[in-house]
Amino acid sequence: MDFTVNANGTLVILETVRKTAPEAVFIFTSTNKVYGDTPNSLPLIELETRWELDPAHPYARDGIDETMSIDQTKHSLFGASKVAADVLVQEYGRYFGMKTAVFRGGCLTGPGHSGTRLHGFLSYLMKCAVSGREYEIYGYKGKQVRDNIHSADLIRAFDAFYQAPRPGEVYNMGGSRFSNCSMQEAIAWCESISGRKMNVRYMDQARIGDHIWWVSSVEKFKAHYPGWRLTYDVPAILKAIHAACV
């Protein structure tokens, strides 16, 4: 089902656009899962509340950029289906000259996010904080790091591309160094914002292929669209989600 929807479905839409509206702007919301578990080979340092990248590494200042390989890594079958769609969107831009773009998202979120146990990190976390529902942490001591981008910032990035498209482009898109947190840090923020102690259960077994540290570099997109910037950091995102929960 994943492959049918993500790969074949994307191909059907691309071909339909090529035949009926070749001048249309085509934006594909991809995922950082196209990089598989390659990010877990980065040199990480354990700090008190998070894993952090070795400061000497080229990705340390701004985050992981688009030069990271998507090849020879464990993706999960979901990730493989997204890779297929991702490359198809690039190809239709490069081969046919269509105005296509791939946005490889980190954690995309906001107050309207329907977070569930295995999807929607900050949204589901705040729901658990407000309701008292148990929240499960899988591995890495709860120090795994994610960047988070508010939907409003993401849509403004889409609009910037729409106004001045660049065929076949690929952009990592997330909260970057401006908006990221570990599980431990996010739980502490949720407790502070909600005023409630969270019910958390920890399990040593991490999810297969789960990223230990992911922070997107958005420097390429900012260079192409200098009028765009991030406006919501993690506390601001969580406050917006909390306001929608209560």
Query: For residue 157, which phi and psi values (nearest 5 degrees)?
Result: -70, -45
Query: pLDDT tens, position by position, for the chain (246 residues)?
Result: 989 999 999 999 999 999 999 999 999 999 999 999 999 999 999 999 999 999 999 999 999 999 999 999 998 888 899 999 999 999 999 999 999 999 999 899 999 988 777 677 899 999 999 999 999 999 999 999 999 999 999 999 999 999 999 999 999 999 999 999 999 999 999 999 999 999 999 999 888 778 999 999 999 999 999 999 999 999 999 999 999 988
Rounded Cα–Cα distance for residues 92 and 26 (Å): 10
Structural domains present in the chain: 2-245 (3.40.50.720)
Which residue do the tokens 């490889």 mark? Answer: 104
pTM for the model stands at: 0.94
pLDDT tens across 93-110, in order? 999 999 999 999 989 999
Q: At what angle do helices 9-20 and 77-96 cross, to 10 degrees?
A: 20
pLDDT tens across 187-236, in order? 999 999 999 999 999 999 888 778 999 999 999 999 999 999 999 999 99
Rounded Cα–Cα distance for residues 99 and 12 (Å): 16
| 59-86 burial: b if 16+ Cβ within 10 Å, else e | beebbbebebebeebebbeebbbbbbbb
Query: For residue 30, which phi and psi values (nearest 5 degrees)?
Result: -85, -155
Query: Is there a contact between 63 and 172 (Cβ–Cβ < 8 Å)?
Result: yes
Strands (E), 51-179: 51-53, 99-105, 107-109, 135-138, 145-150, 169-173
Phi-psi region of 225 (alpha: psi -120 to 50; beta: other; left: phi over 0): beta
